[in-house]
């Protein structure tokens, strides 16, 4: 996601900020990446660059053009440098975000327009460039297509780079930081995030963004505590304010008093010690004291997360979100490209299982190449399996790549957002066609690869017995199941208080899913965020869930829950929880029991 401009402050931050009393206050946002960060605020500037207008004699125009071409070349070099850095540190997929920037630098229409105006107006190139740039940004921001609208920020981002190179002005860069800071920004662009150094950026907070924004995803993979969706943070926080970022709860304390500081310093130390201690059990099995073995797996978006999966002791991958392969690029990934990536994942994890999910495009994740019309309710719209069945050309390419990669490890495959039987049958039919095609071509695949369905739509949960005949397993996607069951948009921070995983309706649905799956001799896992919450995992254990999948950093905590609580105890907790009437009651009860059973997990 590209950076948008910070709105002006109510008062100037220079001078007034220094004189003002540093008041203590709290902000609440959307938890994006767990952990505690304590440090000084570093506000990313709004980057207003002032451009003077100067007349240029006709004879000097070629010189202006040369300056322009040089600034373009310099910008290209900078972007390629960032790209190669990200590619090395985070992988090719992240680096491809910058292809759009590079394409803009080569846009001859744009370049010719600048040169044309330059010759006509005979003024300095900075001025002409910034005028043409504004026109383009405005045009992009008015386009209906959401992806194209987002390109306005890309154009603005790259345009600013060119302007800085033209004017020789340097921007405060995250790469130049020498002290550990907490970054405060309206939003963060990929270049901002990419230049973050974990040693210096100890945490970050942004005014906008949801839990599934690119910024949040990056924060988790970098393991930097972060809170997003903190409306007005950049307006209320001043440079050098002291900040406490509690990435697990979404709380940010500005200029904390001595007590808060002491509390969070203690908590930070405890969390660090706990993380170290928890890692000691990383190679032990996920088995309860009374001998019930469950599977503890991790979720990934990019193959580069595999070292973290292994380091945290997961026994495989329970959800590989392959749609990230399709985002931030202007073309569709080929079969070969996907095959290479999937093969790498299969091999790197072997002999552990990898549950690869077929693309879940749509909702909040779309690529412009697909020219999808804007929808009123994208989460209820043309998404996931619905999209794949409507675009078998795209679906088939992915299925072939998955099948071919399946011989290099232990792959299982699942479809997202199944809402009815026909969808599942139709998807399986296409899969069989692809197997037949590969057989004809003499290409290898694992004929035993198990196929499952994600249960994330209430209608699927209620017809599980009918779906059961067509799959080998189920995986509960609570991120969506909760939003669809409780009618709460999962990325809308205004109604986040209604998003309750412990709501009695959700617990009843989950209990029913597990029961019916088991009656049909199928195993059932969960790959929604709920599985990575210790107090809720206690309930899931008591309900008989077979497999838990979560972001890698949560794995040790959940292993601790499993290894500490005998199943009969977890069942007792479930029994009591089902007597309660609200999500809040259930959550606080489960938490209290967790704290009683495993006090060391209850420090925050």
Q: Is 360 in the site for ligand PEP (CB under 6 A)?
A: yes
> Are residues 484 and 458 in contact, defined by beta-carbon separation less than 8 angstroms?
yes
**What is the sign of the dihedral through the CA atoms of 306, 196, 557 and 590?**
negative
Question: Which CB sits closer to ligand PEP, 461 or 597?
Answer: 461
Judged by CB under 6 A, which of 321, 410, 435, 569 binds ligand PEP?
321
| Residue 405 burial (CB count, 10 A) | 25
Radius of gyration of the chain (CA): 26
Pairing of strands 242-246, 36-43: antiparallel
Q: Quote the crossing angle between the two packed helices 534-543 and 504-519, to the nearest 10°.
A: 40
CA 429/CA 389 separation, integer angstroms: 11
Q: Which stretch binds Mg ion (CB under 5 A): 245-253, 454-462, 510-518, 535-543?
A: 454-462
Could you tell me how far CA 305 lies from the centroid of its own chain? 12
Find which of Mg ion, ligand PEP, none residue 35 binds, CB within 5 to 8 Å per kind.
Answer: none
Q: Which of residues 522-551 bind ligand PEP (CB under 6 A)?
A: 527-528
Distance CA 364, CA 491 (A): 9
Tell me which stretch binds ligand PEP (CB under 6 A): 154-162, 368-376, 471-479, 505-513: 471-479
DSSP state of 31: E
Indicate which single residue of 124, 308, 358, 479 sits in contact with ligand PEP (rule: CB under 6 A): 479
**What residues from 221 to 240 belong to the interface with ligand PEP (CB under 6 A)?**
none
SS3 state at 50: coil
Structure tokens at 486: 């409780």
Which of 192, 456, 493, 546 lies at the binding interface for Mg ion (CB under 5 A)?
Answer: 456
Q: Lay out the site mask for ligand PEP across 388-407 (x = CB under 6 A, - = otherwise).
A: --------------------
Please say which residue, 316 or 477, places its beta carbon nearer to Mg ion.
477
Closest distance of CB 236 from Mg ion, Å = 34
Stretch binding ligand PEP (CB under 6 A), from 57-65, 71-79, 333-341, 475-483: 475-483
Query: Does the protein bind ligand PEP through residue 478 (CB under 6 A)?
Result: yes
Q: How far apart, in Å, are the Cα atoms of 223 and each of 36, 203, 488, 573? A: 11, 9, 28, 32
Provide the minimum distance between the beta carbon of 49 and ligand PEP in the complex, in angstroms, as a whole number: 39
Of 239, 225, 205, nearest to 42 by C-alpha is 239
- Nearest by Cα to 536 from 478, 599, 458, 473: 478
Choosing among Mg ion, ligand PEP, none, which partner's interface includes residue 478 (Cβ < 5 to 8 Å by kind)? ligand PEP
Q: What is the distance between the alpha carbons of residues 202 and 588, in angstroms, rounded to a whole number?
A: 30
Scanning residues 469 to 528, which ones bind Mg ion (CB under 5 A)? 477, 480
Nearer to ligand PEP, 360 or 587 (CB): 360
Say how many residues touch Mg ion, by CB under 5 A: 3
Q: Restricting to residues 439-468, name those near ligand PEP by CB under 6 A.
A: 456
**Is position 409 an interface residue for ligand PEP (rule: CB under 6 A)?**
no
- Which tokens sit at 377? 């309710």
Structure tokens at 243: 């900040």
DSSP 55-103: B--GGGHHHHHHHHHHHHHHHHHHHHHHHHHHHHHH-HHHHGGGHHHHH
Whole-Å CA distances, 31 to 208, 210, 212, 215, 565: 12, 9, 11, 12, 27
Pair 233, 207: CB distance under 8 Å: yes
3 state SS of 46: coil
CA triplet 551, 557, 561: central angle to 5 degrees?
125
Kindly identify the residues of this chain, within the stretch 371-390, that bind Mg ion according to CB under 5 A.
none
Rounded Cα–Cα distance for residues 532 and 477 (Å):
12
* Contact stretch for ligand PEP (CB under 6 A) within 143-151, 235-243, 345-353, 472-480: 472-480
Assess 446 for contact with Mg ion (CB under 5 A): no
Give the residue with the Cβ less far from Mg ion, 154 or 456: 456
When the beta carbons of 75 and 479 are compared against ligand PEP, the nearer one is: 479
552 binds, among Mg ion, ligand PEP, none (CB under 5 to 8 A by kind): none
Binding status of residue 301 toward ligand PEP by CB under 6 A: no
Of 410 and 490, the one with the shorter C-beta distance to Mg ion is 490
Q: What share of the chain is helix, strand, coil (3-state, %, to 5)?
A: 55, 15, 30
Which lies closer to ligand PEP via its Cβ, residue 406 or residue 478?
A: 478
Number of residues that bind ligand PEP (CB under 6 A): 10
> With respect to Mg ion, which residue has the nearer C-beta, 241 or 480?
480
In the set 477, 532, 542, 556, which binds ligand PEP (CB under 6 A)? 477
Choosing among ligand PEP, Mg ion, none, which partner's interface includes residue 527 (Cβ < 5 to 8 Å by kind)?
A: ligand PEP
Q: How many CA within 13 A on the CB side of residue 73?
A: 6
Cα–Cα dist 235/358, whole Å? 41
CB of 562 to Mg ion, least distance (A): 24
Nearest-approach distance from CB 440 to ligand PEP, in angstroms: 34
Number of CB atoms found within 10 A of residue 187's CB: 22
319 contributes a contact to ligand PEP by CB under 6 A: yes
Least distance (Å) from Mg ion to the CB of residue 527? 8
User: Which residues are catalytically annotated?
Assistant: 214, 527
Residue nearest Mg ion (C-beta atom): 480
Burial class of residue 142 (count of CB atoms within 10 Å of its CB; 0-12, 13-18, 19+): exposed
Beta carbon nearer to Mg ion, 162 or 455 = 455
DSSP code of residue 452: E
CB of 538 to Mg ion, least distance (A): 23
Nearer to Mg ion, 230 or 513 (CB): 513
Interacting residues with Mg ion between 157 and 216 (CB under 5 A): none
Q: How far apart are CA 546 and CA 263, in angstroms?
A: 37
Cis status of the peptide bond prior to 351, with omega within 30 of 0? yes
Per-residue mark of binding to ligand PEP, 551-590 (x: CB under 6 A): ----------------------------------------
Q: Of the ranges 474-482, 499-507, 517-525, 585-593, which one interacts with ligand PEP (CB under 6 A)?
A: 474-482
Is the distance from CB of 308 to CB of 589 less than 8 angstroms? Answer: no
3-state SS class at 477: coil
Residues within window 325-344 making contact with ligand PEP, judged by CB under 6 A:
none
Q: Which stretch binds Mg ion (CB under 5 A): 24-32, 35-43, 455-463, 563-571?
A: 455-463
Q: Residue 480 CB, nearest distance to ligand PEP (Å)?
A: 3
- Given a contact cutoff of 8 angstroms between Cβ atoms, the answer to whether 527 and 299 are in contact is yes
Q: Which residues sit at the interface with ligand PEP, rule CB under 6 A?
A: 319, 321, 360, 456, 477-480, 527-528
Q: Which residues sit at the interface with Mg ion, rule CB under 5 A?
A: 456, 477, 480
């Amino acid at each position: 996601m590209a950076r948008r401009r910070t709105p002006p402050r109510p008062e100037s931050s220079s001078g007034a900020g220094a004189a003002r009393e540093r008041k203590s206050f709290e902000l609440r946002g959307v938890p994006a990446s767990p952990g505690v960060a304590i440090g000084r605020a570093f506000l990313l500037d709004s980057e207003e660059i002032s451009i003077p207008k100067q007349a240029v004699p006709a004879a000097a125009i070629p010189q202006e053009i040369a300056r322009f071409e040089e600034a373009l070349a310099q910008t290209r070099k900078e972007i390629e440098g960032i790209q190669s850095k990200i590619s090395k540190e985070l992988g090719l997929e992240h680096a491809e975000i910058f292809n759009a920037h590079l394409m803009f630098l080569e846009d001859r229409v744009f370049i010719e327009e600048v040169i044309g105006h330059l010759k006509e107006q005979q003024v300095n190139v900075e001025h002409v460039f910034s005028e043409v740039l504004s026109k383009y940004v405005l045009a992009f921001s008015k386009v209906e297509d959401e992806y194209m609208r987002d390109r306005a920020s890309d154009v603005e981002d790259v345009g600013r780079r060119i302007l800085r190179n033209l004017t020789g002005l340097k921007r405060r860069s995250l790469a130049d930081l020498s002290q550990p800071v907490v970054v405060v920004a309206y939003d963060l662009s990929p270049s901002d995030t990419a230049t973050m150094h974990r040693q210096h950026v100890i945490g970050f907070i942004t005014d906008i963004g949801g839990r599934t924004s690119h910024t949040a995803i990056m924060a988790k993979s970098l393991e930097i505590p972060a809170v997003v969706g903190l409306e007005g943070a950049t307006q209320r926080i001043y440079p050098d304010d002291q900040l406490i970022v509690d990435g697990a709860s979404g709380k940010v304390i500005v200029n904390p008093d001595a007590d808060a500081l002491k509390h969070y310093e203690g908590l930070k130390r405890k969390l660090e010690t706990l993380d170290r201690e928890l890692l000691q059990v990383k190679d032990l099995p996920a088995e309860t004291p009374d001998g019930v073995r469950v599977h503890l797996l991790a979720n990934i978006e990019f193959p580069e997360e595999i070292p973290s999966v292994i380091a945290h002791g997961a026994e495989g991958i329970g959800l590989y979100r392959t749609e990230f392969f399709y985002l931030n690029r202007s073309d569709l990934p080929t079969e070969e490209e996907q095959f290479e990536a999937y093969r790498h994942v299969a091999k790197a994890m072997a002999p552990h299982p990898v549950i690869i999910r077929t693309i879940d495009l749509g909702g909040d994740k779309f690529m412009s190449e697909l020219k999808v019309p804007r929808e009123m309710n994208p989460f209820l719209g043309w998404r996931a399996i619905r999209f794949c069945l409507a675009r078998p050309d795209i679906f088939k390419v992915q299925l072939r790549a998955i099948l071919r990669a399946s011989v290099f490890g232990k792959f299982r495959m699942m479809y997202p957002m199944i809402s009815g039987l026909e969808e599942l049958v139709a998807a399986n039919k296409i899969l069989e066609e692809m197997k037949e095609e590969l057989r004809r071509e003499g290409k290898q695949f694992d004929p035993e690869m198990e196929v499952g369905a994600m249960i994330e739509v209430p209608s699927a949960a209620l017809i599980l017995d009918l779906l059961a005949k067509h799959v080998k397993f189920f995986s509960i996607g609570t991120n969506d199941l909760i939003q669809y069951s409780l009618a709460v948009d999962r990325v809308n921070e205004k109604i986040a208080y209604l998003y309750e995983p412990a709501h009695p309706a959700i617990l009843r649905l989950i209990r029913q899913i597990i029961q019916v799956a088991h009656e049909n001799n199928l195993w059932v896992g969960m790959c929604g965020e709920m599985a990575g919450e210790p107090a809720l995992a206690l309930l899931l254990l008591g309900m008989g869930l077979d497999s838990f999948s979560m972001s890698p950093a949560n794995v040790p905590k959940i292993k601790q829950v499993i290894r500490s609580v005998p199943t009969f105890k977890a069942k007792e907790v479930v029994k009591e929880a089902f007597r309660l009437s609200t999500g809040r009651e259930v959550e606080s009860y489960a938490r209290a029991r967790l704290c009683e059973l495993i006090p060391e997990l209850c420090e925050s």
